[in-house]
Amino acid sequence: MILQFPPNGRRERSGLVKAGREIEVESFRIIDEEMGRHSFANDQWQIIRRIIHTTGDFDYANRLRFTPDAVASGIEALSKGARIYADTRMIQAGLSPWRLEWHGNEVVCPASNPRSLELAQKNGVTRTLAAFRDCAHDLDGAVVAVGNAPTALLEVIRLIREEGVRPGLLIGVPVGFVRAEESKNALQEVPEQPSITVLGRKGGSSVAVAIIHAILELAEKIDAR
């Protein structure tokens, strides 16, 4: 399944009404105040702050890990209209249409393709793993977001290592107890791939959405200069 929101010639800065924007601004002010001084680069802090805003959990400030080129690579990919490949329809549904409109980014959930079920059953693997393996040739330059399925993240890592696939940005934040932490540790062992991850068991689709929203906001601010 693909969601596409092509630019319509009228670039809306925000899909939030005035009251909603005021609440968001005040929320960010409170987060900044409670966080206090920190050593994060400004672009990284924009991502961490939005995750805290989404989850209400300041512990993410201790758990987020970025490769040095992660944010810049994500901004470049999304500003050029790169597709976003998501492991869950929750990510697909959670991304704001008005933010996606800024650069015409499509959102693809490979596991929604009925073919992925057939391949998973045939090969004895999870559906998300089969789905990402099946669309490997489409991942170069794309933003890949994994919020739920560690097996999908491990498969993308394998594709990077063994088949030379190179996403523009890999967001690996699967939540859970079975292979979630292992998959995120494995991602940190691929430093040549621009990536963002969360240490430990925490994460989820909502965290992946928050990261993408933050990078879309950063890309739009640069574009608006």
The SS3 assignment for 201 reads: coil
The residue among 136, 133, 107 whose CA lies nearest residue 122 is 133
Among the listed residues 53, 103, 137, 213, the single catalytic one is 53
Q: Give the C-alpha separation, 157 to 209, whole Å.
A: 20
> What is the CB neighbour count within 10 angstroms for residue 217?
17
DSSP calls for 56-83: --TTHHHHEEE-TTHHHHHHHHHHTT--
Query: Strand runs (DSSP E) across 158-225, as ranges?
Result: 169-172, 195-198
Please confirm, yes or no, whether 38 is among the known catalytic residues.
no
Q: Residue 68 has which token pair?
A: 């040095």
CA angle, 99 then 102 then 106, to 5°: 75
CB distance 194 to 140 below 8 Å: no
DSSP calls for 28-46: HHHHHHHH-S----HHHHH
Q: Give the C-alpha separation, 48 to 52, whole Å.
A: 6
Residues with active-site annotation: 53
